[in-house]
Amino acid sequence: MHMAVPWEARLGLDFGFQEGRTVLSGKRFEGPLVVQKPLYPEGPEVCHAIVVHPPAGIAGGDDLELSAGTGEGAQALLTTPGASKWYRSAGPWARQRLRFDVAGTMEWLPRETIVFDGALARLECEVNLGAGGRYIGWEVMCLGRTGAGERFGKGEIRIDTKIAREGRLLWLERGRLEAGGRLMSSPAGLAGRTVVGTLAATVDAPERPLVSKCRESAAVTCLPGLLVARYLGDSSEEAMEKFARLWEILRPAVAAREAVRPRIWST
């Protein structure tokens, strides 16, 4: 029986600010993880980049790593062209590692993640903020292909997220989600819901009207230096739209500019 060879992919991006323009000043890649041509729908100060993983999805044994950094004054928005899919595994774990080093502004706004029944997935994200670093990022996860009548009945997801400013921890979350486990059905866990999402944004001291407006779209917690929003439901479309609205509310406070939705979201 022929066994598929696991993919190993690395992509490193550096964004710098030069003469009033954010430029993609460094790019390193290995394997099937690439970035499309930088786009400037907001003008030269903000660089939009679309990160593409050409294979159809992520299978057991695959190891993907995306690292990106913004220098002082640089503003980068990273997104993806479509949902990422984590396939059923015969045993090996699949892994995705994100690392963002942020002296300027970084926005990580990918499309949703679909975890197939039987997947073994590790999702790791580390955000290291400099003194003036600003960040907004989210993750929306669909458990099973519910549109095809599939539930996440076997497999496991492990999540490790860390956000720190100048070495001081702002947020640490470690999760282990076993398919069919108690957390999936518990009222204190996912309560049988199939779509979960987390958004984090660097907001030093959010004003009450801002927080109230955010709470119209999601459950929000304010921590020192960080605002965290959650989604729990059954619709990835609803989750993505709620988070996009939250981003539109928060972006002026975080990045000092109005939101301009990437065109790829509407294609």
Residues of the chain with pLDDT under 50: 1-3
What pLDDT score does 2 carry?
A: 37
What pLDDT score does 247 carry?
A: 97
What pLDDT score does 186 carry?
A: 84
What pLDDT score does 110 carry?
A: 96
What pLDDT score does 1 carry?
A: 34
**253: its two tokens:** 């406070």
What pLDDT score does 152 carry?
A: 84
What pLDDT score does 145 carry?
A: 78
pTM of the model as a whole: 0.94
